[in-house]
Amino acid sequence: MAIDFDKAAERLRNWGRWGEDDQRGTINHVGPEALKRAAAEVVSGKLISLGLEFSQDGPQIPEITKRPNPQLLASDLDQIFNPANPRSRFNDDVIVMPLQSATQWDALSHVHYDGEMYNGCKASECLTARGTKKNGVHHLGSPGIMSRGVLLDIARLHGVDELPADHKISPDELNRACEKFGVTVEAGDIVVVRTGHLRTFTVRKDKTKVAGFQAGLGAECAEWLYDKSAAAVAADNIAVEFLGMESLTQEVVLPFHMLAIRDMGMPLGELFDLEALSQDCAADGRYSFLLSAPPLKVTGAFGSPINPIVLK
Amino acid sequence: MAIDFDKAAERLRNWGRWGEDDQRGTINHVGPEALKRAAAEVVSGKLISLGLEFSQDGPQIPEITKRPNPQLLASDLDQIFNPANPRSRFNDDVIVMPLQSATQWDALSHVHYDGEMYNGCKASECLTARGTKKNGVHHLGSPGIMSRGVLLDIARLHGVDELPADHKISPDELNRACEKFGVTVEAGDIVVVRTGHLRTFTVRKDKTKVAGFQAGLGAECAEWLYDKSAAAVAADNIAVEFLGMESLTQEVVLPFHMLAIRDMGMPLGELFDLEALSQDCAADGRYSFLLSAPPLKVTGAFGSPINPIVLK
Amino acid sequence: MAIDFDKAAERLRNWGRWGEDDQRGTINHVGPEALKRAAAEVVSGKLISLGLEFSQDGPQIPEITKRPNPQLLASDLDQIFNPANPRSRFNDDVIVMPLQSATQWDALSHVHYDGEMYNGCKASECLTARGTKKNGVHHLGSPGIMSRGVLLDIARLHGVDELPADHKISPDELNRACEKFGVTVEAGDIVVVRTGHLRTFTVRKDKTKVAGFQAGLGAECAEWLYDKSAAAVAADNIAVEFLGMESLTQEVVLPFHMLAIRDMGMPLGELFDLEALSQDCAADGRYSFLLSAPPLKVTGAFGSPINPIVLK
Amino acid sequence: MAIDFDKAAERLRNWGRWGEDDQRGTINHVGPEALKRAAAEVVSGKLISLGLEFSQDGPQIPEITKRPNPQLLASDLDQIFNPANPRSRFNDDVIVMPLQSATQWDALSHVHYDGEMYNGCKASECLTARGTKKNGVHHLGSPGIMSRGVLLDIARLHGVDELPADHKISPDELNRACEKFGVTVEAGDIVVVRTGHLRTFTVRKDKTKVAGFQAGLGAECAEWLYDKSAAAVAADNIAVEFLGMESLTQEVVLPFHMLAIRDMGMPLGELFDLEALSQDCAADGRYSFLLSAPPLKVTGAFGSPINPIVLK
């Protein structure tokens, strides 16, 4: 790979930085100042959702991704509370869903390499059929993920709706996007990267490409995020990172995932729908905002479905 | 019941107020001004989660509530991406959960009476085994639920940790709480009511009482919330409203639910964990804050699990 | 349709025949004599399974059939019973599956028309989000489905591997099959009809046609089964009955289903894999056998997954 | 423990006996002769189910057993096939269930010790979050489990309804039962042992004891079953084997499970309801019969729910 993976990994490794027992990683960068800065971004009072719907018509193709789309089933329908007074009725439901099925945070337990997860816990000691004993997503949910968000609209930087599938985003492009869109990434910010890829699902209605090779961040971008002390990174693609043949065949498969999640302890936000946000930012020229995306506190989970919302 | 239900229902009914096709109800009260007011509340940059964990050890007792606790199962564990390069591994999971199992929003389709749901849609035409065709929780998730939150700490008003089970909260108490805690509920605010009831689960670890008779809002409080143009109401109990024998035996069972959800179109937030927030508000004397609790956009669902977060 | 549906329905209707509370329908035809006759068929001691596997690779295409394939997940893996003595380990699992996903019995509650199910129970009073109050599959499971089976190999009758999709099997063909294969259907027998259709899945590995138009029994065959006092009917296709455009557009959609299940109270066995049985019967010239296919006693279910086995 | 576990294990180990790739273990003892003998037992034509119902009211207490009871949910209710012809309707459902929740077979992958499963496959290479690569229950389902069954009614032998919880059944008692009830266990037979324990659930309706200490087979009985060349063993308790403090604290926890499943390759049938069968056998004096209990072919599963049926 372009970068020397193991050397980069050593430099970026945040293990012990926030204590031996830390399970929140770079979310620790979000302190009171970052949160106040986030609130200070609110000018127009406009609210935008970045979340996909969770439904049988979601972006998964089980034969390809091994993940079924969410299945919602009623458990009570038009149910009478009290037969003696049948006017009042209620409805309840149950969902069966992969936590990675649509818009989501990857928890710090989602990936690992060389047998160790973030902060040095042994995969063999943590992983169970009922979830992980360490780095479960509930730690990211306490108190939750909120901060200033910054949109780096790489598709717009290049004047296209969607980056081509073989486009690997470089740190230099991130810098150029900051410059063009007039933003500076500060400690504790959540970096939101737009590739346009999700339009294959939301606009072009072609699910076959959602999980294929696609544009995204190159491994070097992990260093950029580290140097900026970013709290998290999210994108409108399936893995945040660039997916090409090399991603799956190099010595460390999915190197950006490994550096970000396992070494830095940085949650990745995937399948964020950034179309409305992109248009809004282009319209008002403001690419920073308050971003709220609290994961569900699912005990021991490897990720969480979310509905991220932006307040500008 | 103390109030004339049908007369109150007629007065509070918001059907058509936001259009014939509206499926968001009182969330429509949240406009740019309310959101800017919410952001303006941020002073200390302190973040607090109000969400319970979702786990097998959750607050449900299936024999009593008919709802199992969430079940998390790994679908991939220590899985190698590419056998030729086995350093990188990943973990995925699946959850089976009632959407009403822990901290959650009731969608506008969660309850109804006389065969009609919020905004006049016929239950018989909307309800299916795969969810509802109208008033699904995904409408509340677009763009999501965020606003200024106001804590009315009724337990603290009375100087107790937990209100007794037979305590039905009156509008007068809500007014006294506003006065005592120095807050004024404005249009679009989310009213958060603390009874102390959830301490039976979070502090006293006694699940047997979570779903029993308990303190909560009396039906008249729906009128109060209507008159304040509140956007939503949440509490640290199982149904927001007071639960006593009368709740289940009067002509319209669960009258507050029916007035709020079905007539007003107001989402109810249940099983919010308010202990940390209560202590923080008491410490700094500030009972209003930015509250972010975006429901998952589960298409057609009767509710959504959430992790509500407060930024002060 | 070729037959006068309502007239046929009236003649075939078994309501009340086995009591007002009966929920087992034509399975009542299986008495001690039929069971002894079944056992008497055993000559070679050969056992053959007619069941498909239940797996993610099953015959469903959720986008078409609205049914996901079964999902199996471990709930305990390599789990130590007692940490002090870690030699012994165990593994447990959980399945999420549509009861109609592969080889299965349709219960008497699976279909209905004009608002009534088998034996006159009102659909509106029986159907709930948690299953049916009447005619649940557990009644067919008590004591279970076993009898003499008779293979009517219609594909072999015509000298083909698979009947063409537009082949609607007639009573006359059933008679000719009996004659050719030397069997007489007697009261209490389970009639097993082979069309060859399932080869699209088991042999040709083309799932796209499993749920499409396909060969099967015409509605008149319900009369034939009634007159024979058959206990049940099964086939190697998705609905036992012929599926063509007319099946879905005539006044009573799926007329064979309606006559058999709702009027006669006859369970339908679907997606039986009959290839090995067909070859074995052709080899030894014996087309009758003991057939055991006990449904799981899933309380209130509309069907049951099964592994039907034949002993010859 | 009373027996020298490792010495017994070595003697009973059937690895390689039926080939290096065998995944069916002692079910291989069931050949044509055993099956013909089973059919020859049929005299009265009486059918008896030994299966429990699968429902929310099943025998599991999740807090104790970590297994939820089965949850059945409708996926289609009163659903119209074709809106233009709305007379015909259908109902479909989905189940979420532990495969070990009620009456079931343990597959040969259900337990193991010293890192190896039946026939020497390494647990670490076979076990995945989506099931096992070897010894999955689908192998037992091909062609299925049917044979002559023999009831050894140990409770009746002692003249009690239920054996006391501290009663560990010895090989000598099995011999005495054979003698008293006039049966001889032959190669390929399925041995069915009655303790009366399940009456705590089926008769006394006290679920709290279903999973507690209870009567069952001592480890030495594995040797007895081996010497008889039994095909399988089933009982009306939760683990077939005796459960006392020693079961969980000795060096090899659950020694009977380990000898039978892991070394011999013998499936265990658990939570069989033997009350009706016991009464019937006592009434007609015939303790042998045809037993059909085909497991569902769930690919890679550690067990299968079943509805075992007896034909006498």
Nearest Cα residue in chain B from A76: B129
Mark yes or no for CB contact B296/A305 under 8 Å: yes
Of A73, A96, A129, the CB nearest to C74: A129
Residue A128 touches chain C, beta carbons under 8 Å: yes
Same domain, C89 and C157: no
Model confidence pTM above 0.95: yes
Residue B16 structural domain: 5-63+99-311
Instruction: Report percent pLDDT > 90 for chain B.
Output: 98
Q: Does C208 touch chain A (CB under 8 A)?
A: no
Q: How confident is the model at residue A2 (pLDDT cuts 50, 70, 90)?
A: low
Same domain, B228 and B183: yes
Asked whether the predicted pLDDT for residue A49 surpasses 80, the reply is yes
Q: In this structure, are residues B89 and B78 in contact, taking their beta carbons and an 8 Å threshold?
A: yes
pLDDT for res D2: 65
Q: How far is CA B53 from CA A149, A294, A297, B308, in A?
A: 26, 13, 5, 12
Q: Please tell me if residue D73 touches chain A, with a CB cutoff of 8 Å.
A: yes
**Which pLDDT score, from 0 to 100, does residue A63 have?**
87
Give which of C307, C309, C310 to mutate to test D binding, by max D Cβ within 10 Å: C307
Nearest CA in chain B to A73: B130
DSSP per-residue letters across D9-54: HHHH--TBTTBTT---GGGGG--HHHHHHHHHT--S--EEE-PPPB
> What is the per-residue pLDDT across B46-68, written as a single tens digit (0 to 9) for each?
999 999 999 999 999 998 999 99
B141 within 8 A of B27, measured Cβ to Cβ: no
Could you say which residues from 137 to 176 on chain C have a Cβ atom under 8 Å away from some Cβ of chain A?
none
Same domain as A147, residue A77:
no
Residue of chain C minimizing CA distance to D143? C49
Evaluate if residue C43 carries a pLDDT over 70: yes
pLDDT band at residue B1 under the 50/70/90 scheme: very low
D235-249: per-residue pLDDT in tens?
999 999 999 999 999
DSSP alpha helices (H): ranges in D41-116? Answer: 62-65
Q: What is the pLDDT of residues A221-265, one digit of tens each?
A: 999 999 999 999 999 999 999 999 999 999 999 999 999 999 999
pLDDT digits (tens, 9 = 90+) for A148-173: 999 999 999 999 999 999 999 999 99
Residues D90 and D203 in one domain: no
Own/partner contacts of B157-163, CB < 8 Å, gap of 24 or more, are B157/B181, B160/B196, B161/B196, B161/B199, B162/B195, B162/B196, B162/B197, B162/B199, B162/B200, B162/B215, B163/B195, B163/B196, B163/B197, B163/B215
Please give the structure tokens belonging to residue D27: 């079910």
- Nearest Cβ partner of A68 from C68, C75, C128? C68
Chain B residues whose CB is inside 8 A of the A57 CB are 299
Q: Which residue of C has its CA nearest to B130?
A: C129
Tell me which chain D residues have a C-beta less than 8 angstroms from the C-beta of B75. Answer: 129-130
From the CA of C75, how many Å to the nearest CA of chain A?
5
Q: Which two tokens stand for residue D304?
A: 């299968």
d(CA A103, CA C146): 49
A95 burial level (CB within 10 Å; 0-12, 13-18, 19+): buried
Q: What is the DSSP letter of B107?
A: P
Low-confidence ranges of chain D (pLDDT < 70): 1-2
Is the interface score ipTM higher than 0.95?
A: yes
Cβ–Cβ gap A73/D75 under 8 Å: yes
Residue of C nearest to D111 (CA): C90
Mean pLDDT of B229-240: 98
Q: Do D73 and A77 touch (CB under 8 A)?
A: no
C-contacting residues in D 53-72 (Cβ below 8 Å): 53-57, 66-67, 70, 72
CA distance A80 to A88: 6
Smallest CA-to-CA distance from A154 within A165, A140, A170 is with A170
The size of the A-C interface in CB pairs under 8 A is 38
Same domain (yes/no): A122, A180 = yes
Asked if the Cβ–Cβ distance from B143 to A53 is below 8 Å, we say no
Tell me which chain B residues have a C-beta less than 8 angstroms from the C-beta of A146.
47, 292, 309, 311
* Predicted local distance difference test score (pLDDT) of residue D1: 47
> In chain B, which residue ranges form alpha helices assigned H by DSSP?
5-12, 32-40, 62-65, 123-126, 137-140, 154-157, 171-181, 199-202, 220-228, 245-249, 255-257, 275-284
Collect all residues of chain A within an 8 Å Cβ-Cβ radius of residue D129: 129
Predicted local distance difference test score (pLDDT) of residue C1: 47
Chain D CB contacts of C252 below 8 Å? 85, 87-88
Residues from chain A that touch C128, judged by Cβ atoms under 8 A, are: 76-77, 79
Residues of chain A found within 8 Å of residue D96, distances taken between Cβ atoms: 96
Helix or strand or coil: residue B66? Answer: coil
Distance CA A152, CA A143 (A): 26
Spell out which residues of chain A touch residue C75, defining contact as CB-CB under 8 Å.
129-130
State the Cα torsion C143-D299-A96-B113 to the nearest 10°: -20
For residues A189 and A201, state if they share a domain: yes
Q: Look up residue B93 and give its two tokens.
A: 């999971």
What pLDDT score was predicted for residue D95? 98
Buried residues in B6-16 as b, exposed as e (16+ CB within 10 A): eebbeebbbbe
B45, B78, B84 ranked by CB distance to A33: nearest: B45
* Closest alpha carbon within chain D to B93: D129
Give A-chain residues touching D128 at CB under 8 angstroms: none
Residues of chain B positioned with their CB less than 8 A from the CB of A302: 74, 91-93
Q: Are residues A158 and A272 in the same domain?
A: yes
Both A136 and A192 in one domain: the answer is yes
Question: Are B21 and B138 within one domain?
Answer: yes
In this prediction, residue C154 carries a pLDDT of 98
Question: What is the mean pLDDT of the segment spanning B226-238?
Answer: 98
Mean pLDDT across chain A, nearest whole number? 97
Q: Are A276 and A153 in contact (CB under 8 A)?
A: no
- A74 and chain D in contact, CB less than 8 A: yes
Alpha-carbon gap: D144 to the closest alpha carbon of chain C (Å): 6
Nearest CA in chain C to D245: C82
How many CB pairs below 8 A link A and D?
Answer: 16
Mean pLDDT score, B179-188: 98
Distance from CA of D204 to the nearest CA of A (A): 29
pLDDT at B124 over 60: yes
Is the predicted pLDDT of residue A1 greater than 50, yes or no?
Answer: no
Mean pLDDT of A20-29: 98
> What total of structural domains would you count in chain A?
2
pLDDT on residue C63: 87
Same domain, B110 and B226: yes
Whether residue D88 is found in the same domain as residue D235: no
Residues C80 and C114 in one domain: no
What's the pLDDT at D3?
82
Q: What is the rounded CA–CA span in Å between residue B127 and residue B113? A: 13
- Categorise residue C119: left if φ over 0, alpha if ψ from -120 to 50, beta otherwise: left
CATH of the domain at A139: 3.50.30.50
Give which of C105, C66, C62, C52 is closest to C293, Cα–Cα.
C105
Given B76, B248, B294, which is nearest A309 (Cβ)? B294
